[in-house]
Amino acid sequence: MNGVLAILERRGAGWNRLSGETLTAARELAERERQPLLCAAIGAADGFVAGPVTRAYAVQHELLNRYTSDGYILAYEQLIREVGPAYVLLPHTYQVRDFAPRLAARFGETLIADVVAFGDGVFVRQLLQGKLNADYRHTGRGPCFVSIQSGAFQAGQLAPAECDVKVFTPQIEPSQIRSGPEEPFRMAAQTVDLASTPLIVSVGRGIKEQENIPIVAELARALGAELAASRPICDNGWLPMERQVGSSGQTVSPKLYLAVGISGAIQHLVGMKGSKAVIAINKDQDAPIFEVADYGVVGDLFEVVPALTAAIKKTKGEMTSTA
Amino acid sequence: MQIVVAIKQVPARDSAVHIAPHGKWIDEQDLSWEINEPDAYALEAALLLKEKHGGEVVVLCAGPGRVQSSIRDALAKGADRAIHVECEGLEAMDTLAVARLLAAAIAGEKPDLILAGLQSDDLGMGQTGVVLAELLGIPHASIVMELEVDGQSLRVKRELEDGWFQWVRLPLPALVTIQSGISKLRYATLMGIKKAKTKTVQKVEPPIATDHHSVAMHRVHLPERKKQTRLISGAPAEAAAQLVEILRSEVRAL
């Protein structure tokens, strides 16, 4: 076994952003292990972006035109058996979460999922919603499968592959594809574009009840910010889904992200950790949100938020009256 | 229909966790425990399907004696019976080993459908269900928000990224991993709690060697702070005044 194989994911005509980050991680690992860097993706050989790789594989089969876990697993299993890499790195996307655990199991391996860093034979991942980190070692005899967390590595410039892109055609029979996927769809047009808004006030579980949402909405209004939320708030229907920030919602990078009663589960943090300034108000001083916060208030949001809203209104009033 | 729901017991959300002296896991003393949240939604989905189509809901749970409380919770909510795989140190096993335990424990069952939460709140590997499907040789769908059963096939709504969804049809038997928040969770009724005491909990010893592993977690540690967080203290009004000053002079949001 030799080589670090990066499996990339296309998104429409382009590439998933996380594919670039995975390529960076794969390059670092290849240099560290002094092994060749390889990459692969399902689809056309044209426009293959992987920069300085030793070999690139365009995996092609008509049964792969629509994503199915059965199809992707069969295709990548055959590629990996032919290429024989020591490591297989994948972006930790929803698609990878669907097929990669099964792919690894075919080799008697366990996917080390959602990795944030590596070094010295260990892969670091987060436990308990980000409260702890854990070092994992690969102890199996097959390839080591690793998926890379969004935002953990910098995406480099995606340049055309500096080698011939080899077409790999796996053997797949129609009867081997057991699931029937329908066309993907969006629930409703997005009317709130959190991605381009400069100020966001976001609310989480700490708000406790729907009746309390206006406390935070009032703060957002006073500040002239958009109101956003973590997943549980939208799941409960307290705010519409389109206001959700996180891996299953929108990814934002505003000038200010003011997190109220948000503990900071990994799925939320990946959606907002690119914010320029983060202020967190939370009663639990060990909450992972403080890991990414520039400013923190450890306290009761039901006392701090109304006080802050009042202070902002007062300041704005003074600014208008002196203008 | 016959439905198996795999649940895991995890430390309650917002628990203060401390690293154990051996540095390989957390100190489990003084923790309170609950059913992993996505698994609670998987159980809810199973109970809704049973109400609509009839059949039986069997809870499958691996872990030491303490998991009995979560099994009883599931039975009180309406599951019919349970299989408890008695074992210590789940956290030291890799996903493949855990999935092998679960697969062996239900070898005598003939489920039409197996449900599991999409990931655990403690280890968060997010793959026990998917790997269990592989070991059982059945199709799966992950991160599912809605299920429709129609004869021998299943139609599920998968969540994709960025607000996209997709319906997928699967032949039964199949395994589905459930996303949190797909419905309201029911509470156990007093009658349910009473009835749970009479329901069968079948205990099985780990049926296969669990020492094989492909990956090993060998150390847990506190995350390094990437940012220096400036903590603002004082009474709410004082803290608010300081925040306003920060918003004005540093963040320039006012």
- B212: pLDDT strictly greater than 70: no
CB neighbour class for A311 (10 Å; exposed up to 12, middle 13-18, buried from 19): buried
Amino acid at A261: G
Whether residues A256 and A291 share a domain: the answer is yes
pLDDT mean over A141-165: 86
CA A32, CA A121: separation in Å to the nearest integer? 10
Same domain for A43 and A104? Answer: yes
Give pLDDT, residue A248. Answer: 79
- A163: in domain: yes
- In chain A, whose CA is at the least distance from the CA of B185? A236
A279 close to B (CB below 8 A): yes
pLDDT value of residue A15: 85
Which A-chain residues 54-113 have CB contacts (< 8 A) with chain B?
69-70, 93-95, 97-98, 100-102, 104-106, 108-113
For residue A13, what pLDDT band results from cuts at 50, 70 and 90?
confident
Banded model confidence at residue B107, pLDDT cuts 50, 70, 90: very high
Average pLDDT, chain B: 92
Statement: residue B101 has pLDDT above 60: yes
**Closest by Cα among B139, B149, B104 to B2:** B149
pLDDT score recorded for residue A14: 82
Place of tokens 């009180």: B76
Please tell me the distance from the alpha carbon of residue B44 to that of residue B38, in angstroms, as a whole number: 10
What average pLDDT does the segment A230-243 reach?
A: 89
B240 in a domain, yes or no? no
**What was the pLDDT predicted at A322?**
61
The pLDDT of residue A129: 83
DSSP E strand stretches across A73-143: 87-91, 112-119, 122-127, 132-138
Which residues of chain B does A114 touch, with a Cβ-Cβ cutoff of 8 Å? 124-126
Main-chain dihedrals φ then ψ at residue A90, nearest 5 degrees? -135, 155
Q: A interface mutation test: which of B121, B229, B231 has the most A CBs within 10 A?
A: B229
Does B211 score more than 70 pLDDT? Answer: no
Q: How far apart are CA A122 and CA A137, in angstroms?
A: 5
**A17 and A78 in a common domain:** yes
Q: Please, what is the Cα angle at B150 between B144 and B154, to 5 degrees?
A: 30
Distance in Å, alpha carbon of B75 to nearest chain A alpha carbon: 25
Do A77 and A28 lie in a common domain? yes
Q: What is the dihedral of CA A304, A307, A308, A311, to 10 degrees?
A: -160
Among A248-252, A255-259, B35-39, B165-169, name the one with the lowest average pLDDT: A248-252
**A203, A149: one domain:** no
Q: How confident is the model at residue B237 (pLDDT cuts 50, 70, 90)?
A: very high
* Total of domains in chain B: 1
Whether residue A29 sits in one domain with residue A144: yes
Q: Give the best residue of A94, A186, A260, A273 to mutate against chain B (max B CB count within 10 A).
A: A94
Minimum distance, in Å, between the CA of residue A72 and any CA atom of chain B: 13
- A105 min Cα distance to partner chain B (Å): 7
**Both tokens assigned to B184:** 């309201």
Q: Is residue A187 part of a domain?
A: no
Last residue of a domain, one of A111, A145, A176: A176
Q: Which of A131, A235, A249 sits opposite B17 (nearest CB)?
A: A131
Task: Give me the residue from B162, B215, B250 closest to A136, CB to CB.
Answer: B215
Residue B210 has pLDDT above 60, yes or no: no
Cβ-defined contact of A139 to B213 (cutoff 8 Å): yes
Q: Which two tokens stand for residue A317?
A: 């009033």
Given a cut of 70, whether residue A268 has pLDDT beyond it is yes
Using the structure block, give the residue that is written with the tokens 């109304």. Answer: A306
What is residue A5's three-state secondary structure? Answer: strand
Give the per-residue pLDDT at A188. Answer: 65
Categorize the per-residue pLDDT at A196 as very low, low, confident or very high, splitting at 50, 70 and 90: confident
| ipTM score | 0.91
Taking the C-alpha atoms of residue B245 and residue A312, their distance in angstroms, rounded to an integer, is 10
Segment B128-153 shows an average pLDDT of 95
Q: Is A147 in the same domain as A271?
A: no
A30 lies in the same domain as A122: yes
Q: Per-residue DSSP letters for chain B?
A: -EEEEEE-EEEPTT----B-TTSSSB--TT--EEE-HHHHHHHHHHHHHHHHH--EEEEEEEESGGGHHHHHHHHHHT--EEEEEE-S-GGGS-HHHHHHHHHHHTTT---SEEEEESS-SSS----HHHHHHHHHT--EEEEEEEEEEETTEEEEEEE-STTEEEEEEEESSEEEEE-TTSSPPPPPPHHHHHHHTTS-EEEE---S-----SEEEEEEEPPPPSS--EE--SSHHHHHHHHHHHHHHTS---
If you average pLDDT over residues A138-151, what whole number do you get? 94
CA-CA distance, B118 to A88, in Å (whole number)?
23
Q: Mark whether A249 and A283 lie in a shared domain.
A: yes
Residues A173-180, mean pLDDT to the nearest whole number? 96
pLDDT above 70 as % of chain B: 97
* Closest Cα in chain B, distance from residue A167 (Å): 28
What proportion of chain A, given as a percentage, has pLDDT over 90?
69
Domain containing residue B79: CATH number:
3.40.50.620
- Tell me if B223 and A132 make a contact (CB, 8 A cut-off): yes
A255 close to B (CB below 8 A): yes
What number is the average pLDDT over the span A265-284? 91
Tell me which amino acid residue A67 is: Y
- Is B213 among the domain residues? no
Residue A183 lies in a domain: no
Number of other residues whose CB lies within 10 A of the CB of residue B92: 15
Q: Which domain holds residue A142?
A: 4-176
Cβ within 8 Å, pair A113-B124: yes
Judged by CB atoms closer than 8 Å, whether chains meet at B181 and A98 is answered as no
- How far CA A116 is from CA of A152, A251, A284, B78, in Å, comes to 5, 18, 24, 40
Q: How far apart are CA B111 and CA B254, in angstroms?
A: 60
A311: nearest CB among B118, B180, B240: B240
Please, which pLDDT band fits residue A17 given cuts at 50, 70 and 90? confident
A15 by DSSP, 3-state: which? strand
Q: How confident is the model at residue A242 (pLDDT cuts 50, 70, 90)?
A: confident
**Res. A209: pLDDT tops 70:** yes
Residue A191 contacts residue A251 (beta carbons within 8 Å): no
Provide the shortest C-alpha distance from residue B132 to chain A (in Å).
9
Is B22 domain-assigned? Answer: yes
Q: Which candidate from A135, A291, A293 shows the least CB-CB separation from B223?
A: A291
- Residue A323, pLDDT > 60, answer no
Asked, for residue A188, whether it belongs to a domain, the answer is: no
A279 three-state secondary structure: strand
Contact call for residues A261 and A234 (beta carbons, < 8 A): no
Strand partners, B157: B146, B167
* A54 φ, ψ (degrees, to nearest 5): -75, -40
Q: Give the span between the Cα atoms of B49 and B56, in whole angstroms.
A: 10
A186 domain-assigned: no
Nearest chain B residue (CA) to A189: B163
Mean pLDDT, rounded, for B114-139 = 96
- Residue B253's nearest CA partner among A29, A56, A312, A106 is A312
pLDDT tens string B197-206: 999 999 998 8
A140-149, A261-270, B30-39: segment of lowest average pLDDT: A261-270
Q: Same structural domain for residues A318 and A210?
A: yes
**Residue B251 located in a structural domain:** no
- Closest CA–CA distance from residue A317 to any residue of chain B (Å): 11
Beta strand B153-159 pairing with B164-171:
antiparallel
Task: Quote the number of domains for chain A.
Answer: 2
What average pLDDT does chain A have? 91
Residue A40 · residue A5 · CB < 8 Å: yes
Q: Is B94's CB within 8 Å of A137's CB?
A: no
From the candidates A147, A245, A297, which should be mutated to test the interface with B, based on the most B CB atoms within 10 A? A297
Structure tokens at A203: 């609310």
Q: Looking at the predicted structure, is the pLDDT value of residue A49 above 90?
A: no
Identify the band that residue A164 occupies on the pLDDT scale cut at 50, 70 and 90: confident
| CB environment A179-191: b (16+ within 10 A), e (fewer) | bebeeeeeeeeee
Instruction: Name the A residues in 144-183 with CB < 8 Å from any B CB.
Output: 144, 178-183
Q: Per the domain annotation, does A221 fall within a domain?
A: yes
Q: Which domain holds residue B100?
A: 2-204
Chains A, B: CB contacts under 8 A, how many?
264
Q: Give the single-character DSSP code of A50.
A: -
pLDDT tens-digit map of B73-98: 999 999 999 999 999 888 889 999 99
Nearest CA in chain B to A106: B134
